[in-house]
Structure 1
Amino acid sequence: MGNRVRKGFRKARRYMAPTIYDVAKKASVSIATVSKVINNTGRISEPTRVKVLEAMKQLDYRPSVVASALTRKKTDTLGLLVPDISNPFFSEIARNIEDRAHERGLSVIICSTDYNEEKEKKYIDLLKRKQVDGFIISSGFKNLDLLKSLMDQNIPVVMLALDNPSINVNVISVDDHRGGYQATAHLLAQGHENIAYIGEDVRSSNIRIFGYREAHEDYGVPIDEENIVKIPSTMDDSREMTKKLLGRPNPPTAVFAANDLLAIGVIQGAREKGLNVPEDLSVVGFDDTILATITVPMLTTVAQPITAMGNKIVDVLIEEIGGKKKVKERNLFTPSLIIRGTTGRPHNLPKPKAN
């Protein structure tokens, strides 16, 4: 009878879930080292961290979220608030943030606020009840008092493309001024002197206008202030605004749109007016999302380094959560102009002669 019981125990043990001890043994490290890797604490070399994570993967080891939360008061969960998940920029960077968080052993709860302050408060309250370890709050967030309250409660926060000098917080953004300059200077260099700007009334879009203005100054081209228009961030609004612009007595020959979604609306509006892109109207977008490569012709746009930005957001927030970051930082990434098929010289200008 005793032998049968011992065999039963051995058989049961064979099917038990792996433990932290099993991970330590397989990775040839201490239990403390495994714990540090799981909890993102202490100083662990990258080779050791990779070795532990690989052992966890091979053993299919899953740390207990409940136990972890009880002992560390953490849930290994981040909250991400975006204004519109249907905008390809936000969906693409949200996916990148989620992938990076997964690599670091965390999960992400994504909420789309639709530029609505009531939804902002609702989701902030929801995520606080779920005891997320930190927040990622992106461009378009309107309730600055709510944001300041998170800071007053010492809740780790990183802002994406949203920088307010009155709030001391970590910021990850792209150089919008430089990107606006690159887009406009490209059109001016092509010979366009009547360039419209279509954007949202948000901080990042307004900073791109500064670049638009500076490029005009450098090229000595005056700006028609009626060419600068602000609309909601929808393709339909962009399409309708484009048709209004093109219906003017002196319509623009080019449009710089504040994001790729609006740029697609510009192309649609031009076609509905019977115009061809770029023969009759040149178009430049911003972001370089998947939309830029599926249009015909493909979209000239200003690329944001989405992968690098998403990785940095997660890494900075994890440092903040772990108490390792003593000084807030503002990371400004450099954009790059991607020239494709939606820009060319105005139809009334001759093509430059070949040398």
Structure 2
Amino acid sequence: MNPTIQDVAKAAKVSIATVSRVLNNQPGFSEKTKARVLQAIEDLGYQPNAVARGLVNRNTGTIGVLFPSVSGLLSAEILFGIEARAHEEGYSVIVCNTAANPEKTLRYIQVLSEKRVDGLIFVSEEVTEDYYKAFERMGVPVVLILTQSYKYPLPYVKVDDAHAAYTATRHLIECGHEKVGMLSGNPEELLAGVGRIEGFKRALLEAGLSYSDSYVETSTSFTFEDGLANFPKLMNRHPDITAIFAASDEIAVGAVSAAYKLGISIPNDVSIIGYDNLKLAETSVPPLTTISQPFQRMGDKATEMVLEMKKIMM
């Protein structure tokens, strides 16, 4: 049976309140008493409950992270950055996979609230009114990654998708390509769909090239399977395309695989540039040119912001 705070108090011959003050660095005891309590804790192997201590010092040493999916390389990179900074600062991380399901997301927010996490990092989903109200009820710092909200005053860490897509497309144009297509995600998706299409379109028009929606093949997500399925559709519709901007590295690698099956040489027949700079880009054959998103740095920065905001609130 695990020792309790009562066991520590009995062994140290002090009150439970004194043990609590020692654990939470509060005044009201001598150095001799502190040494006796700490020795009793060591002898008994007592480990104070983080949540119980958090009721006193308002700090449980935990940060909650909400992902719409934890299976992708993107999530792994972000989580690496979050966990590394959290560990450096003496914090633990609780990860929740919401599957982009509103009911599941709200349930996880409630769970994290009950666990009294010190802050929350919300990744790659639109902030709805229900989510924001739940954040307000928690009363802890919330930082967004790969998303932002124009309606609600929440700090965020993300790149400018439109500018990044513009840069990728501009690179293809500067390489001499005049017939450029795009393999996109969901065109109605505000977080990553709309901006990347807008950047692609702007680069073409500024270069004096024609733009048509038919040169953009859209899908519901940003996966390898999307690239595999949609590359043939785009090439069948516009066989004169010599370069493609893919809205994610996974889409790009799927397109490379589809091209191989069709006997199309990459990059000799069609050049492809991706978006994200995941490890996947390095392992692609041929290696994938891509626009980098610093996911680990994003995770690190978001964690730093949460902890700084927590200090201000204490």
Q: TM-score range by the shorter chain?
A: 0.7 to 0.9
The yes-or-no answer on 1:152 pairing with 2:136 is yes
Deviation at 1:131, TM superposition (A): 2.1
Instruction: State the distance in 2 between where 1:311 and 1:130 align.
Output: 22
Q: Compute the RMSD of aligned alpha carbons.
A: 2.9
In the alignment, what sits opposite 1:46? none
Instruction: State the distance in 2 between where 1:70 and 1:115 align.
Output: 31
When residues 254 and 213 of structure 1 are mapped into structure 2, their CA distance, relative to the original with a 3 A threshold, is same
Structure 1 segment 1-355 matched on structure 2, within 5 A: 65-66=50-51, 68-139=53-124, 141-142=125-126, 144-153=128-137, 154-201=139-186, 202=189, 203-231=191-219, 232-323=221-312
Q: Percent identity?
A: 33
Per-residue displacement from partner, 1:74-119 (whole Å, max 9, x unpaired)?
3211111122222212211111111111111111111222332233
Instruction: State the distance in 1 between where 2:94 and 2:109 align.
Output: 11
User: Which SS does the other structure have where 1:256 is aligned?
Assistant: strand
Instruction: State the distance in 2 between where 1:165 and 1:227 align.
Output: 30
What is the TM-score of this pair, normalised by structure 1? Answer: 0.70
**Would you say the 8 A contact 1:263–1:285 is kept in 2?**
yes
Deviation at 1:251, TM superposition (A): 4.7
Per-residue displacement from partner, 1:175-198 (whole Å, max 9, x unpaired)?
222211110001111122222222
What is the TM-score of this pair, normalised by structure 2? Answer: 0.78
Deviation at 1:142, TM superposition (A): 4.3
Q: Name structure 2 gaps, 5 residues minimum.
A: 1-10, 13-18, 20-24, 27-46
Per-residue displacement from partner, 1:249-277 (whole Å, max 9, x unpaired)?
53522221111111111111111211111
**Would you say the 8 A contact 1:135–1:156 is kept in 2?**
yes
Per-residue displacement from partner, 1:7-43 (whole Å, max 9, x unpaired)?
xxxxx99xxxxx9xxxxxxxxxxx78xxxxxxxxxxx
User: Which SS does the other structure have where 2:100 is aligned?
Assistant: coil
Per-residue displacement from partner, 1:199-251 (whole Å, max 9, x unpaired)?
22332232122221221122111112112233122211221011111222535
When residues 199 and 130 of structure 1 are mapped into structure 2, their CA distance, relative to the original with a 3 A threshold, is farther
**Would you say the 8 A contact 1:245–1:251 is kept in 2?**
no
Amino acid at match of 2:176: G
Amino acid at match of 1:286: Y
Q: Which is further off, 184-193 or 207-216?
A: 207-216
Q: Name structure 1 gaps, 5 residues minimum.
A: 1-11, 14-18, 20-30, 33-61, 326-355
Q: Which is further off, 212-221 or 202-211?
A: 202-211
When residues 99 and 224 of structure 1 are mapped into structure 2, their CA distance, relative to the original with a 3 A threshold, is same
User: Which SS does the other structure have where 2:133 is aligned?
Assistant: helix
Instruction: State the distance in 2 between where 1:195 and 1:86 align.
Output: 31
